[in-house]
Amino acid sequence: MMIEFLGHFHPVIVHLPIGILVLAFILEFLIPSKKIGTSIVVEIALLIAAFTLILSALFGWLLSFTGEYNADILYKHKMLAILLCICTSILWILKKFPEHFGKITKGYPALFYCSFFLLLFTGHFGGSLTHGEDFLSLSNAFKNSKIQTNTNYLEEDSKDGLAVKNTVYDSLVRPILVEKCMQCHNSKKQKGGFQMQTYVLLMKGGKSGHPIVPNGIVNSEFIHRIQLDNNDEKHMPPKAKEPLTSAELNLIYWWINNGASKEKLLQDVKINDTIKAIVKGKEKIELPSLNLQPVNHITIQDSLALTQLHLLITPIIKGSPFLEISAINAPGLNDADLELLFNAASQTVWLILDETKLTDLGIKKLLKFNNLKRLSLKNTKATNQSISAINQLTHLEYLNIVGTSINDAGLLSIKCNKQFKKIYCWRSGITEKGIEKFKQLYPNVVVDFGMK
């Protein structure tokens, strides 16, 4: 497609104005000179920088039509780039025709400094689009290099695949794909035209054809991309993302070589050595006992209403009225939208609200979900103020507050009932000291902090 082809010139051109603008900044402020020649060089540099920035922005705009990028970050990058183009153009005009603007030219240095910082922030978001949100983060630079490999798929939140769907794909394979691959391959970001939030889409593939060939690892593009050198731009996951572990790779290999089935039962293969490796030390593979009062099935009308919100609705067990509701395809879900789920509140036992716009105000509405056992608020705006509402979910067993602002005080205010089993809390405001104090209160509750 011609638009996509022209869009690929954006990363080729974008580095040129960056270098030129930095050069102009150095000549103007770091090694200033009153020589006319130096002033002309700065003038020419600003002209070239403005022109190439506009050209780069145009190609970047074309590239955005591929739909392969995070919409929020893309918007920020785009707006800052437009502002940078405008500021750089004004700088050239003020430098070229100072006599026409009088006192306005006094703002030239301040505007130049603003343009330089705009350049830095625009580049930051550009790098995040290409290499991942944490690519230029200070927390990523200084974090402990010993990150825990999460293989606890049988107890992970339902977005990452639960043991209740007792097939190899749902219980073990899909959680790996969600954790390591789905950030770049979902309905909102279809890198390579490839989505994998459902089994059908996973097998359908994208622009490179069918990524998985049952019984054929050699011919599976998915495996080929994983095995590429880390420096290769086609390597999956991208270099800045956490790679698959050897246990995860072995499981994927085994699954493909055994037909890449969606229906193969976990209980039929759990004695296999590869399966044993991935679930070693975990609880017995079995369907959970809910111990909840019977409820009616959700109506077709209510189910359709939730589907229109792009929510994924899945019975936790085939034929069961109890549901898993996931907002993986609805990042725009907000506090007001949560009320639309009330008609399915009693049926919902696993609720996944990751990456949504939910705040403390919306979390208070979760009191309607009286049968909730697993709640994931990963990367939402939840704070300590949400804990009082969470404490009133009397059946809760698993809580995911990864990437939230909840801190040690919030953790210590959580009241765990007897059935409470696990909390996921890395990349939040919680510290190891807070976890130590929490374990003194609730020694039987596992706190997954993402580090060994």
Is 293 a domain residue? no
Do residues 113 and 250 share a domain?
Answer: no
Q: Largest Cα–Cα distance in the chain? A: 85
**pLDDT number for residue 132:** 53
* Distance separating alpha carbons of residues 21 and 398, to the nearest angstrom: 51
Q: Name the token pair of 349.
A: 């036992």
Is 289 a domain residue? no
Do residues 109 and 245 share a domain?
Answer: no
* pLDDT range class, residue 435, cuts 50, 70, 90: very high
Do residues 263 and 314 share a domain?
Answer: no
Would you give the end-to-end CA distance of the chain in angstroms? 47
Do residues 59 and 173 share a domain?
Answer: no
Do residues 137 and 173 share a domain?
Answer: no
Instruction: Give pLDDT tens digits for 144-177.
Output: 433 333 333 333 333 333 343 467 887 778 888 8
Tokens 């990058």, residue located: 77
**For the domain that residue 401 is a member of, what is the CATH number?**
3.80.10.10
Is 87 a domain residue? yes
Do residues 21 and 58 share a domain?
Answer: yes
Q: What are phi and psi of 372, to 5 degrees?
A: -65, 125
Name 87's Cβ contacts closer than 8 Å, sequence gap at least 6. 111, 114, 115, 118
**pLDDT number for residue 420:** 93
Is 262 a domain residue? yes
Name 193's Cβ contacts closer than 8 Å, sequence gap at least 6. 206, 207
Cβ pair 241, 132 in contact under 8 A: yes
Pairing of strands 323-326, 312-315: antiparallel
Q: How many C-beta atoms lie closer than 10 Å to residue 135's C-beta?
A: 17
3-state secondary structure of 392: coil
102: left (phi over 0), alpha (psi -120 to 50) or beta: left
Instruction: Give pLDDT tens digits for 386-423.
Output: 999 999 999 999 999 999 999 999 999 999 988 899 99
Please tell me which of 10-14, 187-191, 216-220 the model is most confident about, judged by mean pLDDT. 10-14
Do residues 314 and 273 share a domain?
Answer: no
| Higher pLDDT, residue 250 or 240 | 250
* Distance separating alpha carbons of residues 111 and 124, to the nearest angstrom: 20
Say how far residue 143 (Cα) sits from the centre of its chain: 18
Is 254 a domain residue? yes
Single-letter code of the amino acid located at 256: I
| Higher pLDDT, residue 351 or 244 | 351
* Distance separating alpha carbons of residues 438 and 440, to the nearest angstrom: 5
Find the range with the poorest average confidence among 68-77, 162-171, 374-383, 399-408: 162-171
Do residues 134 and 43 share a domain?
Answer: yes
pLDDT over 80 at 27, yes or no: yes
Which of these three, 142, 157, 179, is where a domain ends?
142
* Distance separating alpha carbons of residues 437 and 275, to the nearest angstrom: 35
pLDDT over 60 at 334, yes or no: yes
**pLDDT number for residue 68:** 60
pLDDT over 80 at 74, yes or no: no
Is 99 a domain residue? yes
pTM above 0.85, yes or no: no
Residues of the domain holding 75:
2-142
Tally of domains in the chain? 3
Do residues 223 and 192 share a domain?
Answer: yes
Alpha helices in 132-198 (DSSP H): 138-142, 168, 174-180
**Average pLDDT estimate for 315-334:** 83
**pLDDT number for residue 158:** 36
Instruction: Give pLDDT tens digits for 95-109.
Output: 888 888 888 888 888
pLDDT over 80 at 340, yes or no: yes
Q: Name the token pair of 321.
A: 């009225």
Name 153's Cβ contacts closer than 8 Å, sequence gap at least 6. 160, 161, 163, 171, 172, 175, 176, 278, 279
DSSP 8-state code for residue 297? P
**pLDDT number for residue 297:** 87
Q: Name the token pair of 279.
A: 């679930």
Is 395 a domain residue? yes
Do residues 443 and 308 share a domain?
Answer: yes
Sheet with 374-376, edge to edge strand ranges:
312-315, 323-326, 348-352, 374-376, 398-400, 422-424, 446-448
CA distance readout (Å), 117 to 10, 36, 53, 267: 21, 27, 15, 57
Which of these three, 279, 313, 339, is where a domain ends?
279
Q: Name the token pair of 246.
A: 């050897």
Alpha helices in 26-102 (DSSP H): 36-64, 71-96
Please tell me which of 53-67, 89-103, 368-382 the model is most confident about, judged by mean pLDDT. 368-382
Tokens 């359709």, residue located: 304
Do residues 188 and 328 share a domain?
Answer: no
**pLDDT number for residue 286:** 39
Do residues 323 and 258 share a domain?
Answer: no
Is 192 a domain residue? yes
**pLDDT number for residue 140:** 46
Instruction: Give pLDDT tens digits for 241-282.
Output: 667 776 777 778 778 878 888 887 766 665 555 566 565 534
| Higher pLDDT, residue 228 or 163 | 228
